[in-house]
Chain A
């Protein structure tokens, strides 16, 4: 069975440009999460989808970030316009809908804004 897949693995863009990150969760996992790790800091929660609905987006930094999960399958995270401080590794994770369900993480997308 395929794990959580993220694309691209790396992205280098100029300040002011737009980037879209994609996450394909494990099939059948209703819960999908986005996290981000800025260099030297902890991995931090961004938002959580249950199927296609945003359950919690309290970790989203600002309105330059837009996440979608149309149809409750894959998700995209768009940054527009990108700023230097958006650089980091963006992780996606998915889990089944049980309190102790394990979260499976993707390999991450390393975003560098120059």
Chain B
């Protein structure tokens, strides 16, 4: 069955450093890979989408890589800030015009001032 693995343990980093989160998947050939941010008591908020034929995408301090051979995505936050503290979800979806996605369990990031 399709499976997404994210570090379910919390990741603690010092303010100003780069946070790197990992998403590995098996039994899946996604057309798109997405990253979401979720704060306690809130719904997920979309951050970035990367297509299967793209290697890397950037948005401000965020960078996502996508390696379909390794079946892995890395999510980087540079110059991290305490406000970046949240749970980050990896999500995969097939091609098609809708958002039936398979979510990972998420990694909780804590940026320490």
Q: Which residues of A contact B (CB under 8 A)?
A: 4, 31, 33, 35, 41-45, 48, 50, 55-56, 91, 93, 95, 97-108
B70 to chain A, nearest CB (A): 21
Binary contact readout B39-64 vs A (1 if CB under 8 angstroms, 0 otherwise)? 00111111001010000000000000
What are 17 contact pairs spanning A and B, CB under 8 A?
Answer: A4-B43, A31-B99, A33-B98, A42-B4, A42-B104, A43-B44, A45-B101, A56-B98, A56-B100, A99-B95, A100-B32, A100-B51, A101-B99, A102-B46, A102-B49, A107-B42, A108-B41
Report how far A48 CA is from B97 CA in the complex, Å.
12
- B46 close to A45 (CB less than 8 A): no
* With known contacts A42-B4, A100-B49, A106–B43 Cβ distance under 8 A: yes
B36 to chain A, nearest CB (A): 8
* With known contacts A100-B32, A100-B49, A105-B44, A45–B100 Cβ distance under 8 A: yes
Q: What are the residues of chain A within 8 A of B103 when measuring CB–CB?
A: 35, 42-44
Q: What are the residues of chain A within 8 A of B102 when measuring CB–CB?
A: 42, 45
B89 at interface, CB cutoff 8 A: yes
B96 at interface, CB cutoff 8 A: yes
- B49 close to A107 (CB less than 8 A): no
B91: nearest residue on chain A (CB-CB)?
A: A43
Given A45-B101, A102-B49, 17 more contacts at CB 8 Å? A31-B97, A31-B98, A31-B99, A35-B103, A43-B103, A45-B102, A55-B98, A56-B98, A99-B95, A100-B32, A100-B49, A102-B46, A103-B99, A105-B44, A106-B43, A107-B41, A108-B43
CB within 8 A of B105: which of A41, A50, A91, A106?
A41
Q: What are the residues of chain A within 8 A of B95 when measuring CB–CB?
A: 99
A98: nearest residue on chain B (CB-CB)?
A: B97
Binary contact readout B70-93 vs A (1 if CB under 8 angstroms, 0 otherwise)? 000000000000000000010000
Binary contact readout B15-52 vs A (1 if CB under 8 angstroms, 0 otherwise)? 00000000000000000100000000111111001010
A92: nearest residue on chain B (CB-CB)?
A: B43
CB within 8 A of B43: which of A31, A50, A98, A105?
A105
B4: nearest residue on chain A (CB-CB)?
A: A42
